[in-house]
Chains A and B, each alone.
Chain A
Amino acid sequence: MNNIISYAHIKNNSVSINGTPVFSSEKNATLPEFLSEAYKSMEISYPKFHKMDLQCKLGFLCTEFALQNTAFISENDLTKTAIVISNSASSLQTDKLHQHSIDDKTNYFPSPAVFVYTLPNISIGELAIRHKVTGENAFFVSKKFDAHLLVNYTELVLHDNASSAICGWVEVDDTAYEAFIFLVETKNNTNKNTIFKPLNQLVVTQIYNQT
């Protein structure tokens, strides 16, 4: 039985965990400002955070929020924890930064620290490093949040080579951003802080649309 044990949603400069609002910034705060405030609110020290591009920061924070008050990391075999993430814009915002650094031949300074983030799955790598998760990876690109794609593939990977999964949507585009992360386990978790919702397309669509 595959269960969703926790989820977090970040959009419009606010964060909710399992449908309950837990943090917000002013509506007109920019994305970098919001991310910085959200990071501070978590009271963690993870210097690598400041090196990440916006998409990785967003995915990192949303996952931290989803994991809060769960025993997901301590109770699961992390070699069998899959990370399945998707979005619409791939790494387009960082792609534009890199392109900008090479457009002008008289001011030509491509930066390795920017270029490395021009792959969307680097956000998966950042989560893997943060939590020492070494299981299956997949980064999909779809026009919109696609519950069917995510749920269907997560089920397949849980069937084949994983016992838990970090899944979701981490999107940063020109005008909008959004992250939605849900944690899935196959075993029956006894932790009282977690929720239990069966992993299926209907449930994921519901909790995604909830806030």
Chain B
Amino acid sequence: MDALIEKLKGQIIEQLNLAEVKPEEINPDSPLFGDGLGLDSIDALELIVLLEKHYGIKIEDPKDGKTIFQSLRTMAEYIKANGKS
């Protein structure tokens, strides 16, 4: 799980162009949205693309994103449960 979380940190920083954020600054249990990383509605949609592109997971209803993308850990757990790789 920890390895997956570390991998996700890198992928999120790259996909969402968070150039001023360092991986160690992201707490796996902090909320991804809201104040934390300053992510917005476009980032939420990009995370859906990220899951499909890197993990072959298709989220049909973007409303599910709210629970999946609560934190890095919830995201990693979702990938573990649903991912192909």
Interface residues in chain A, defined as those with a beta carbon under 8 Å from any beta carbon in chain B = 45, 47, 50-51, 109-113, 116
Contacts and interface: CB of A to CB of B under 8 A. Distances in A.
A109 B51 CA distance: 11
8 contacts: A47-B20, A47-B21, A50-B20, A51-B16, A110-B49, A111-B49, A113-B42, A113-B46
Contact of B49 (A45, A47, A51, A112): A112
B43 interface: yes
Interface string B44-63: 01100100110000000000
Contacts of A112: 42, 45-46, 49
A112 B17 CA distance: 13
Contacts of A116: 42
Please name the 6 residue pairs, one residue from A and one from B, whose CB atoms are nearest each other, closest first. Answer: A50-B19, A112-B45, A50-B17, A51-B17, A113-B46, A109-B53
A68 to B, nearest CB: 21
Interface string B15-50: 011111100000000000000001000110110010
Given A109-B52, A109-B53, A50 B18 contact: yes
A112 B16 CA distance: 11
Given A51-B16, A116-B42, 9 more contacts: A47-B19, A47-B21, A47-B38, A50-B19, A51-B17, A109-B49, A109-B52, A109-B53, A112-B49
Nearest to B19: A50
B46 A47 contact: no
B46 A111 contact: yes
Contacts of B52: 109
